[in-house]
């Protein structure tokens, strides 16, 4: 019973916060296969998908630079191991950026050269925590992108993004395990 009340509590709180009506809340949060508005809503077309892929590309460019910078800054006895891990992950992100850019060009778009803001961190724990958050965001975004590409018949794009998502999952798992070693 308490669960039912907390479910409705969260629902009402979200509605008040975002100024939703019952109808739009249910449509956006409960209906299956929903696509959130900030991910293009249901008005998807090829041009909108190119914009979303460029948004993803800017995240990959951020990750390349951020992980490299973290790899340079890491100090202490674990430096060789952590430096190499971060450098390897940065190379994976480079591969992702290339795949997205090639897809964007093939679809008639222009790949962005602007990374999202690089997040600096002072301690190893902060670096790994920041990097893990970036991977978790990428996992969420790519999960949405796979559905969106499928929805407009871009099956190849969807499969390419599926492979990228698998890499991001490995990266997130790596950061989780490295964080366990930190005190």
- Footprint of Fe ion on this chain (CB under 5 A)? 60, 93, 96, 135, 168, 171
Q: Which is nearer to Fe ion, 154 or 168 (CB)?
A: 168
Q: Which is nearer to Fe ion, 12 or 176 (CB)?
A: 176
Residue 54, token pair as written in the block: 């460029």
CA distance 103 to 60: 14
Q: Which is nearer to Fe ion, 57 or 74 (CB)?
A: 57
Q: Which is nearer to Fe ion, 93 or 141 (CB)?
A: 93
Least Å distance, CB 162 to Fe ion, is 13
Q: Which is nearer to Fe ion, 74 or 85 (CB)?
A: 85
CA distance 6 to 29: 16
Least Å distance, CB 165 to Fe ion, is 9
Is the CB of residue 99 less than 8 Å from the CB of residue 165? no
Least Å distance, CB 60 to Fe ion, is 5
Least Å distance, CB 142 to Fe ion, is 8
Q: At what angle do helices 22-29 and 2-18 cross, to 10 degrees?
A: 110
Least Å distance, CB 164 to Fe ion, is 6
CA distance 53 to 108: 12
CA distance 140 to 169: 10
Residue 154, token pair as written in the block: 């871009």
């Amino acid at each position: 019973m308490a669960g039912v009340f907390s479910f409705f509590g969260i629902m009402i709180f979200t509605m008040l916060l975002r100024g939703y009506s019952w109808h739009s809340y249910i449509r956006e949060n409960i209906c299956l296969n929903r696509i959130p508005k900030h991910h293009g809503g249901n008005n998807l077309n090829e041009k909108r998908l190119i914009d979303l892929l460029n948004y993803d590309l800017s995240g990959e460019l951020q990750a390349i630079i951020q992980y490299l910078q973290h790899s340079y800054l890491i100090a202490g006895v674990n430096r060789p191991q952590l430096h190499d891990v971060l450098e390897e992950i940065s190379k994976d992100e480079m591969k992702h950026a290339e795949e997205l850019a090639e897809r964007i060009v093939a679809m008639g778009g222009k790949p962005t050269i602007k990374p999202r803001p690089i997040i600096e961190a002072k301690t190893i724990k902060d670096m790994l925590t920041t990097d893990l958050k970036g991977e978790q965001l990428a996992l969420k975004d790519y999960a949405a992108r796979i559905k969106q590409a499928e929805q407009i018949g871009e099956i190849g794009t969807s499969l390419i993004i599926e492979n990228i998502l698998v890499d991001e999952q490995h990266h997130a798992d790596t950061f989780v395990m490295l964080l366990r070693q930190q005190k």
